[in-house]
Amino acid sequence: MISGESRRGRMAVRAAAFLAVLLCAGCAGVKVSSVSTQDYIAQRRGDVLTTGRLSASAREAMAVLGLNAQDCRKDPDTCIQALTATEGLDSERRLATLSEAWLADALAIEKQRPVGQQDRDRLLDAYLQTARAAYAYLFFTPRSPSDRAFEDRQTQVRDYYNYAVQQAVTRLFEQYRGRSPGPGEKVAAGPWQVLGEMSEVKLAEGRRLPHELVPASTLTFQGLRGMYRRDGFGAELVAVTARRVNDADTFKTPFSETPFPAVTAILSFPGDTLEQVMATREAILTGYDPYKRDAVQLAGTKVPLAANFTSGYGLWLARSGFATQALRNVLGSEEGIVAPHVYLLQPYDPDRRTIIMLHGLASSPEAWINMANEVLGDETLRQHYQIWQVYYPTNAPLATNNRAIREALSQTMAHFDPAGTAQASRDIVVIGHSMGGVLSRLLVSSSGTVLWDALRDRGRLDDKQLEQAREEFAPILSFDAFPGITRAVFIAAPHRGTPFAENTLSRWLSNLITLPATVVRQFAKLNRLADADGASPPESPARVPNGVDNLSEKDPYVLLTGRMPISPSVRYHSIIANDTPGVPLAESDDGLVPYRSAHLDGAQSEKVIPYSHSVQETPAAILELRRILKLQLDPQAP
């Protein structure tokens, strides 16, 4: 028998439970918890490209339609059909989610190995569908891109577009490699028709198609401190036009435009309305030179053009083989070069000023790896300058290289600007490091009669003999400042030579150097002409000074050229390294070049940087060069 007290207890419990049910009626069971700021940002910004999972925005949009994100990954077709047909979402949410869903499908197909022909067509279709939905979201919804400028979702959709364009274009390139479509000819891409417009893209050697098309996003480089690019629309690509770099074919001409130009590809879809764009199966592929253009018109809207300014330069250096070839050059081996070569780091632009860079002894264009990259990365400098790097045989005598570099530069300019009227041929800046600094000084100097007077006095030549010598040796003993150069920057340059060229290691290296027979014969004859005392028999082999010899502070040629005046129309600057802390500046050196040799009276500026001889790689030297280059752009600057 249950007591009254027990009965009352049970009734109280039931009443409490009933009251709880009443109080929670209509309650959704919401609970709250805290997340860190980092987790919150990651949740809001993570998407199929960054995490491999659909974004929070996509999952929320799907939930509105009763779709489960996980089920959509398993059955993308059903999910995409539902998103395409629905009226339950506004156009922005629908198209953004549709673009991400198509991209998720494409990435899932990419993971399949191997990808058969049918899947390749489906994959290309998925990328084109991704790009089309993103394009429609960006330009055919009620709000313009500028109205959504601060929204994360627009940045995500732009990335879907750029990535899809990158993948679609590179896959189309592989599909039609070696079968270049004619002008105005459309190519089939599964159910799509794609029309290419590449008239603005300039490839080296007049090529219509490159050998490779490399996505810049897939490249990383060791040795480059920074990767310079511009955010915007389009796929950032590198068009590779040469299978081999620095082979015999390269040096058949004195110059070459970059075989790795930067290209930005855009896909647009014809139609005047959202419905027309989403119904089309046609696409227009347009290639742009990002150096010449920083914005494009898409569907009546001006948008920034994406660009990568480092990838092509880095790929060129990585494939050049400069590191090993530079040593062969200084020794004069068969695998080295015998004449200077001018490399244009971007397609020639008549409206940009020219920067000429000259490396030092036993070096190559790799000496400028970060300095050139920083110039390309500076928006102001990139808009106004183009870089030419001169690669020359550093084993050759300075006189020979001075003449040959002048000829290579003259032929390059005559090829691109025969009339000499382009901005590229005026207000040129020459920059030289070490031996390249000495050669840069020769480019802006006039020999006058300095070398002829020395030859006459040393060889005791009469007027007739001197005139005969002029007929044969004038090209290397007579020169004026190279036309068009109005500013020079000398970096760690031994203008008066260096005692390092006389030490045991340098003499050993000098004795290993082989010079071309033509150079040996020419300078042997010149030496005998100057040998008034007949100390050397005519049949004896003459000692011909090479590049290392010319850098000695005792070398007659470097001592004579140090007396030549720099053109009054050239403003010049010195960047000098000091690797001897605690030593008076006048007695300091950078480990190779003493201050007394690098210093030049009359320089507009002199920057002394605590560092060793390779000072051109330091941030301080690069900042100083950027200051000088911007000074050159100021018409009011001294």
Q: Is residue 533 part of a domain?
A: no
Task: Give how far Cα 604 sits from Cα of 434, 607, 633, Å.
Answer: 19, 10, 16
Residue 140's domain spans which residues? 44-163
Q: Of 311, 336, 355, which one is at a domain's C-terminal end?
A: 311
| Six token digits for residue 49 | 């490209």
Domain count, the chain: 3
Look at strands 428-433 and 353-358 and give their pairing. Answer: parallel
Which two structure tokens, joined as six digits, stand for 188?
């089939």
Question: CA angle, 105 as apex, 156 and 101 as ends, to 5°?
Answer: 45
Could you tell me the two tokens for 439?
């050669």
Query: CA-CA distance, 577 to 360, in Å (whole number)?
Result: 15
Q: How far apart are CA 627 and CA 623, in angstroms?
A: 6
Are 142 and 186 part of one and the same domain? no
- Lowest average pLDDT, out of 42-51, 281-290, 414-423, 486-495, goes to 42-51
> Which is higher by pLDDT, 70 or 402?
402
pLDDT over 60 (residue 16) = no
- Which position has the higher pLDDT, 48 or 112? 48
Q: Which of 349-363, 483-497, 502-516, 588-602 has the lowest mean pLDDT?
A: 502-516
5 pLDDT higher than 70:
no
Helix (H, G, I), strand (E, B) or coil at 318: helix
DSSP at 192: E
According to DSSP, the residues that pair with 605 across neighbouring strands are 573
Cα–Cα nearest to 371, from 353, 354, 389: 389
Q: Which residue has the higher pLDDT, 484 or 334?
A: 484
Among residues 117, 133, 163, the one where a domain terminates is 163
Could you please report the per-residue DSSP string of 534-545?
Answer: --S-TTSPP---
pLDDT, tens digit, for every residue of 380-436? Answer: 999 999 999 999 998 889 999 999 999 999 999 999 999 999 999 999 999 999 999
**Amino acid, single-letter form, for residue 364:** S
Residues 567 and 492 placed together within one structural domain of the fold: yes
- Phi and psi at residue 221, to the nearest 5°: -130, 140
Q: pLDDT tens, 551-600?
A: 999 999 999 999 999 999 999 999 999 999 999 999 999 999 999 999 99
Among 134, 163, 192, identify where a domain stops: 163
pLDDT computed for residue 540 by the predictor = 43
State percent of the chain over pLDDT 90. Answer: 64
Give the pLDDT of residue 321: 84
The beta-strand segments (E) located in 262-350 are: 262-268, 282-288, 295-298, 301-304, 307-308, 341-344
Question: Do 349 and 418 share a structural domain?
Answer: yes
Question: Are residue 214 and residue 188 in the same domain, yes or no?
Answer: yes
252 located within any domain: yes
Could you give the 3-state DSSP secondary structure of residue 321?
A: coil
Q: Is residue 32 part of a domain?
A: no
* Whether residue 488 sits in one domain with residue 436: yes
Model pTM score? 0.88
Q: What is the residue type of 61?
A: A
Residue 517 is assigned to a structural domain of this protein = no
186 and 305 co-located in one domain? yes
Instruction: Answer yes or no: are the C-beta atoms of 408 and 250 closer than 8 Å.
Output: no
The whole-angstrom separation of Cα 340 and Cα 407 is: 9
With beta carbons less than 8 A apart as the criterion, state whether 405 and 411 touch: no
Is the residue at 518 inside a domain?
Answer: no
In a domain, 173, yes or no: no
Helices 369-377 and 311-320 pack at an angle, to 10 degrees, of: 160
Does residue 31 fall inside a structural domain? no
DSSP 90: -
CA distance 90 to 87: 7
Residue 229 in tokens: 């690019």
Query: Would residue 537 count as lying in a domain?
Result: no
Q: Are 335 and 366 in contact (CB under 8 A)?
A: no
Phi first, then psi, for residue 537 (nearest 5°) are -60, 150
Rounded CA Rg of the chain? 34
Nearest 10 degrees: Cα torsion 193, 198, 204, 209: 10
At 541 the pLDDT is: 46
3-class DSSP assignment, residue 363: coil
Distance, CA of 8 to CA of 20 (rounded, Å): 18
Classify strands 428-433 and 186-189 as parallel, antiparallel or unpaired: unpaired
564 in the same domain as 420: yes
Residues 299, 268 contacting (CB under 8 angstroms): yes
Is the pLDDT at 28 greater than 60? The verdict is: no
Q: Report the DSSP pairing between strands 353-358 and 307-308.
A: unpaired
The CATH code of the domain that includes 360 is 3.40.50.1820
Q: Per residue in 89-99, pLDDT tens?
A: 999 999 999 99
Peptide bond into 114 cis (omega under 30): yes
* Whether residue 486 sits in one domain with residue 382: yes
SS3 414: helix
**What is the pLDDT, as a whole number, of residue 86?**
87
Q: Domain check: are 283 and 419 in the same one?
A: no
- Largest separation between any pair of C-alpha atoms in the chain: 148
Pair (566, 594) in one structural domain: yes
User: In angstroms, rounded to a whole number, what is the distance separating the alpha carbons of residues 491 and 357?
Assistant: 11
Show the CA angle centred on residue 617, arms to residues 614 and 620, nearest 5°.
110
**pLDDT tens for each residue of 192-239:** 999 988 888 888 767 778 889 999 999 999 889 889 999 999 999 999
**Whether 285 contacts 255, CB under 8 Å:** no
Q: For residues 256-262, give the mean pLDDT.
A: 94
C-alpha count within 13 angstroms, C-beta hemisphere, residue 65 = 26
Are 409 and 307 found together in one domain? no
Together in a domain, 218 and 348: no
pLDDT band at 505 (very low <50, low <70, confident <90, very high): low
Helix ranges (H only) for 394-433 are 398-416
CB atoms within 10 A of CB 31: 5
pLDDT tens, 312-367?
999 999 998 887 776 666 666 666 788 999 999 999 999 999 999 999 998 899 99
